[in-house]
Amino acid sequence: MTTVQAGRLGTWLEADPEYLLGQTHKPVRHPMLYHNAPQELWRALFQAVHAGTLGGVLILKCHQINLDRLPLGISNDDPRSMLAVVLTLKHTVGSYMVEGWQLWQPEPWSYPKSRAHVLSVLLLLQALDRLRHPGCYPRGLELSAKEMKAVSDGTQHVSSVLGNYRWLPKWDVETFLNLPARRQDIAASLKDYGDWRAWVTGTHSREG
């Protein structure tokens, strides 16, 4: 495989070209970042929706963790407090249609500002789904804390964690958003990051 071929394949598979060439043990350089800039993930969603390449959205959390009752003293870098967004993206490779999984940096639910980032994305997805854009209804999936740490560290590609969706939906994102306990967090998110609503109504340039 040439460097050029590895670069192209890495783009399609969301994998580090150096990993494909056997030059590093980490399959990804780092997850896609949207810390302090949720607009980056909004933009990726809009581009995928309007290009027709969005196959689905997965929201990952750790198994058997109640996000409203996190253990006392849990740190912001504890994988048990993380929520991760994964976009399933469709690519045309020659005469084939292939899917790749794009992981966005897991954000700690234990940190209020990160909750606002995550909620801005979930609320955007909810709005896009209600406007009947395909692929925008997020599925909630669960994985172990060990696997959440591995995908966050880049030592495991998210596709190996998801497998064949062996984690069936064990929590519903729509129900999660509609819980009474969510109202204060949603209000804070809309106050700080509610400008995604302008993107939905078309007053913001969709090309970013």
Q: How high is the mean pLDDT in each 10-residue block of the chain (208 residues)?
A: 72 70 73 88 95 93 90 90 94 78 93 95 96 92 90 86 61 90 95 92 54
- DSSP per residue over 17-41, as a string? HHHHTTS-S-S-S-PBP-TT-THHH
- 28, two tokens: 């990804």
pLDDT at 205: 47
What are the φ and ψ backbone dihedral angles of 136, each rounded to 5 degrees?
A: -90, -15
CA–CA separation, 115 and 82 (whole Å) = 10
Range of the domain at 10: 1-30
Q: What is the pLDDT of residue 64?
A: 85
When divided into structural domains, the chain yields a total of 2
The verdict on 25 and 105 lying in the same domain is no
Same domain, 48 and 150: yes
Predicted local distance difference test score (pLDDT) of residue 206 = 45
Is residue 1 located within the same domain as residue 91? no
Q: Are the CB atoms for 54 and 134 separated by under 8 Å?
A: yes
Query: pTM score, two decimals?
Result: 0.86
Distance CA 159, CA 176 (A): 25
- pLDDT of 4 reads 75
